[in-house]
Amino acid sequence: MNSSVALAVTHHDPDQRMERQIAQWLPVLQQHYAHLAIIVSADTHYAAPTKPSAALSVQQLPAQFPAGVAALGHVRQMVVQQAWQHAPHISHVHLCDFDRILHWVEHYPEELAQVVAQITHADFTVLGRTPRAFASHPRTQRDTEALINHVFALASGQAWDVTAASRGLSRRASVYLAERCADPTIGVDCAWVLCALQQPELIVAYYATEGLEFETADRYPAEIAAAGGVDAWIATLDASPQQWWLRMQVATLEVASINQFGNHARCTQR
């Protein structure tokens, strides 16, 4: 266990497709981190362990809380603060989506342990994907996220993959972002990085990973079998206009967040 890092995860699973993974891998995640903070969407049923644990905190959003990517930045800020509140002794928080971290610990546990140690060396660590991990995603994600990353590079001067939604944050980075970057949307994928890069006192780092590869297939074994394999199932996603529409909505919010910084965001990597 890394006694100085807490994990903060957002959990959205209204169809309860992640229950097997959670039962199997949550105990393993608790061996990696000093504390695990989970924030659960209003329409997700999550059966918290019957025995309360000082190393686990769970908060469910109220029914009236805005849903979707337009409010995701607010949710991420909330779960990071939840981690600090319940584990005041830690030095860093690792933010990730629950489905991604479950896939990561199952398939790349050694890399995850390295990452947990790595994020303690900076105030703000952007965890992106290797070219192979990025290419594992459906085209609906690859094309739209490549566009986001391109616009981010124009604004920052950094050719980073910023759309995997996993970050390492020190306490001073968390405080700074809470005060200076109140973007309520999924645009925090970009806005938080640009905010951090503009603060000379913050050490900002980038780390490309294999473990942030495409994780969604973990939850659809029956559909994959019916389609004839993972590649065939992914092809059905790429053939769906709705999937393109959803991913383009995300891209629009992300680019809008970048645009708030205008031509003043370009920074030098530290």
Angle between helix 188-197 and 171-180 (nearest 10): 110
Q: Give the C-alpha separation, 48 to 175, whole Å.
A: 29
What pLDDT digit, counting tens, does each position of 200-256 carry?
999 999 999 999 999 999 999 999 999 999 999 999 999 999 999 999 999 999 999
Q: Is 63 exposed, middle or buried (0-12, 13-18, 19+ CB in 10 A)?
A: exposed
Could you report the per-residue pLDDT of 100-138, keeping only the tens digit for each?
Answer: 999 999 999 999 999 999 999 999 999 999 999 999 999
pTM, full prediction = 0.94
Residue ranges and CATH numbers for the domains of the chain are 2-259 (3.90.550)
